[in-house]
């Protein structure tokens, strides 16, 4: 249910639903119109056939001598036409049939037509009562005859959707060529007509399937350019040097792709200019910083000299970290398949060899397609932060619900909840003491998050339930993961 709701909240789902509903209404509207036209044409043809019978009878009566008309009128019905007394009356005027007769011209064009009861055209119905018909129908002889007839009949055909039109009786009054008035009744028999099979299951199900497939294909075609642009925008956030979007498709799509590529080029130019500017500033500062360091060595007051050198060292570290931040945003390093466990173990061993308390608790046996130097700097920053502010670092990697997760935890005091996101901002430091040994420049976590995004991961912080701060690096895209062993795939 959630997947269905998510589908209809997407652009593809909305276009699909709109097309299905629109085409369904259009199909129903076309069916209603064509059915109405078909019914009208069928009624017209029925009236024309009835008019043919009447016209043939009138021409016959008009052609015989007046002395023979009474005998012919008294004879059995000719094509459903019967003589009627002059005082016979109907129930309502039949204007539709009169228009058909009027269009034919001749004697029938002057006819007056009325609808009448069915027993006027079929007088034999008056001689048998309803009770007598019921008694005959329920008799043993009729029942046995029906059973015998049913046994001899072939199996019935498949049921059809039909429309049964009951018989209609009309009274016709018209003048003959000699001025004599002719009063007759004219009947139409039972008519069975096959209706449109549109709403039959055998026809409706394929129609609905065809509408659904067509709507989905059209929706995918319409939204595929948006999906490509969305994927390109996500990749651009991780890799500013990704290949440009292909310029193809309709005019609007080509214009959007060209605008996207132009934006990418402008961003690349902006970042490149910023990096060159920082690199130039750093390079130009090296010489005066070196001269300052040499001059500070001549300060006789040892305490003052140490403070000045510490300030100079902090200034140099700030410049270097700013340059590192700029370089991290513009890295052109290529991705390679990297053993995540080996990388983490080597960093933990380096920290332990340096005399720090660092432990690798377990790996996930996975290979990720990463930028190796960027990944190494990212994890090194996180491990250094854990050691610097929490006194120790516990590193682990695992697969959780189809994702790869690396956790780096310290055992320090943690952070206030409102600071868990703010510490990723540039120049926001974890230590309020402003100590040069622990405070840093406030760019370590900023660089770490930027490097994580460059490697397709998400970096976040949380206070561990058992104490300390935990940094989590999460990869959602399993397409970039490969198992190192068969046992890893089962985890």
Residue 137 has pLDDT above 80, yes or no: no
The answer to whether the beta carbons of residues 386 and 398 sit under 8 Å apart is no
Does residue 475 contact residue 357 with C-beta atoms inside 8 Å? no
Reply yes or no on whether the pLDDT at 360 is more than 80. Answer: yes
Cβ atoms of 236 and 242 within 8 Å: the answer is yes
Range scoring the smallest mean pLDDT among 53-62, 137-146, 219-228, 417-426 = 137-146
Output 322 or 453, whichever has higher pLDDT.
453
- The domain ranges of the chain are 2-153+160-194, 239-332, 334-489
Q: Judging by DSSP bridges, how do beta strands 393-400 and 366-370 pair with one another?
A: unpaired
The answer to whether 178 touches 66, Cβ cutoff 8 Å, is yes
Could you give the strand order of the β-sheet that contains 92-93, starting from the edge strand earlier in sequence? 81-83, 181-188, 168-175, 112-116, 92-93
- DSSP for 2-54 reads HHHHHHHHSHHHHHHHHHHHHHHHHHHHHHHHHHHHHHHHHHHHHHHHHHHHH
> Is the pLDDT reported for residue 432 higher than 60?
no
Residues 6+ apart with CB under 8 A from 244: 261, 264
pLDDT at 477: 61
Over the stretch 73-88, which tens digit does the pLDDT of each residue have?
776 555 678 888 888 8
Task: Compute the distance between CA of residue 320 and CA of residue 312 in angstroms, rounded to an integer.
Answer: 12
Which of 77, 82, 80, 115 has its CA nearest to residue 96? 115
Q: 94-103, 225-234, 396-405, 471-480: lowest mean pLDDT where?
A: 471-480
Whole-angstrom distance, CA of residue 314 vs CA of residue 307: 11
Question: Per-residue confidence at 153, pLDDT binned at 50, 70, 90?
Answer: low
Q: Is residue 437 over pLDDT 60? A: no
Residue 408 has what pLDDT?
Answer: 93
Q: Give the model's pLDDT for residue 441.
A: 55
Mean residue pLDDT across the chain = 79
Task: Give CA–CA dist 173/88, Å, rounded.
Answer: 10
Give residue 435's pLDDT. Answer: 42
Bridge partner list, 197: none
Under 8 Å between Cβ of 428 and 422: yes
pLDDT tens profile 222-258: 888 888 888 888 878 767 777 888 888 788 888 888 9
| pTM (global) more than 0.85 | no
What is the pLDDT, as a whole number, of residue 329?
Answer: 60
The CATH-assigned architecture of domain 239-332 is: Orthogonal Bundle (1.10)
Identify the pLDDT of residue 245. Answer: 87
**Most confident segment among 3-12, 126-135, 149-158, 479-488:** 3-12
Domains 239-332 and 334-489 share a fold: no
**pLDDT for res 295:** 82
Residue 128 DSSP SS3? coil
CATH number of 334-489: 3.30.565.10
Q: Return the pLDDT at 481.
A: 46
pLDDT bracket for residue 315 (50, 70, 90): confident
Asked whether the predicted pLDDT for residue 434 surpasses 50, the reply is no
For the segment 24-51, what is each residue's pLDDT rounded down to a tens digit? 888 888 878 887 888 888 888 888 988 8
Would the pLDDT of 72 be above 90?
no
Please compute the mean of the pLDDT values over residues 401-428 and round it to a whole number.
85
CB 261 within 8 A of CB 240: no
> For 275-284, 356-365, 425-434, 476-485, which range has the lowest pLDDT when averaged over its residues?
476-485
- pLDDT score of 482 more than 80: no
Length of the chain: 491
- In the predicted model, is pLDDT for residue 260 greater than 80? yes
How far is it, in rounded angstroms, from Cα 360 to Cα 379?
13
Highest mean pLDDT among 73-77, 99-103, 448-452: 99-103
197-201, 396-400, 487-491: the lowest-pLDDT one: 487-491
Under 8 Å between Cβ of 399 and 491: yes
């Amino acid at each position: 249910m959630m997947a269905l709701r998510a589908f209809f909240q997407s652009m593809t789902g909305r276009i699909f639903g709109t097309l299905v509903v629109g085409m369904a209404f259009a199909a129903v509207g076309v069916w209603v119109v064509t059915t109405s036209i078909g019914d009208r044409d069928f009624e017209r043809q029925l009236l024309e056939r009835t008019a043919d019978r009447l016209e043939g009878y009138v021409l016959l009566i008009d052609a015989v001598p007046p002395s023979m008309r009474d005998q012919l009128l008294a004879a059995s019905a000719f094509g459903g036409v019967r003589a009627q007394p002059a005082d016979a009356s109907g129930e309502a005027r039949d204007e539709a049939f009169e228009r058909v007769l009027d269009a034919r011209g001749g004697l029938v064009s002057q006819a007056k037509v009325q609808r009448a009861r069915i027993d006027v055209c079929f007088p034999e119905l008056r001689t048998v009562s309803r009770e007598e018909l019921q008694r005959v129908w329920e008799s043993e002889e009729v029942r046995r005859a029906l059973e015998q007839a049913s046994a001899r009949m072939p199996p019935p055909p498949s049921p059809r959707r039909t429309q049964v039109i009951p018989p209609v009786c009309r009274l016709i009054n018209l003048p003959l060529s000699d001025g004599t008035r002719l009063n007759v009744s004219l009947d139409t028999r039972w008519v069975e007509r096959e209706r449109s099979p549109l709403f039959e299951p055998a026809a409706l199900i394929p129609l609905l399937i065809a509408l659904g497939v067509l709507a989905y294909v059209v929706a995918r075609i319409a939204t595929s350019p948006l999906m490509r642009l969305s994927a390109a925008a996500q990749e651009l956030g991780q890799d500013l040097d990704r290949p440009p979007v292909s310029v193809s498709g309709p005019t609007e799509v080509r214009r959007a792709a060209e605008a996207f590529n132009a934006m990418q080029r402008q961003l690349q130019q902006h970042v490149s200019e910023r990096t060159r500017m920082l690199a130039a500033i750093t390079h130009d500062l090296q010489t005066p910083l070196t001269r300052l360091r040499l001059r500070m060595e001549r300060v006789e007051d040892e305490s003052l000299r140490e403070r000045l050198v510490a300030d100079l060292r902090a200034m140099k570290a700030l410049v270097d970290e700013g340059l590192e931040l700029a370089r991290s945003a513009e890295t052109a390093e290529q991705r390679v398949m990297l053993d995540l466990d080996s990388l983490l173990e080597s960093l933990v061993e380096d920290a332990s060899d340096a005399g720090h308390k660092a432990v690798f608790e377990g790996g996930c046996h996975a290979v990720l397609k990463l930028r190796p130097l960027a990944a190494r700097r990212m994890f090194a920053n996180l491990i250094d932060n854990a050691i610097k502010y929490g006194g120790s670092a516990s590193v682990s990697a695992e697969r959780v619900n189809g994702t790869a997760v690396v956790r780096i935890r310290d055992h320090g005091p943690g952070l206030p909840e409102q600071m868990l996101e703010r510490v990723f901002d540039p120049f926001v430091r974890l230590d309020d003491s402003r100590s040069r040994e622990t405070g840093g420049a406030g760019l370590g976590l900023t660089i770490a998050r930027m490097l994580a995004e460059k490697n397709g991961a998400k970096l976040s912080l949380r206070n561990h339930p058992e104490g300390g701060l935990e940094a989590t690096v999460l990869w959602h895209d399993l397409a970039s993961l490969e198992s190192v062993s068969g046992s890893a795939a089962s985890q």
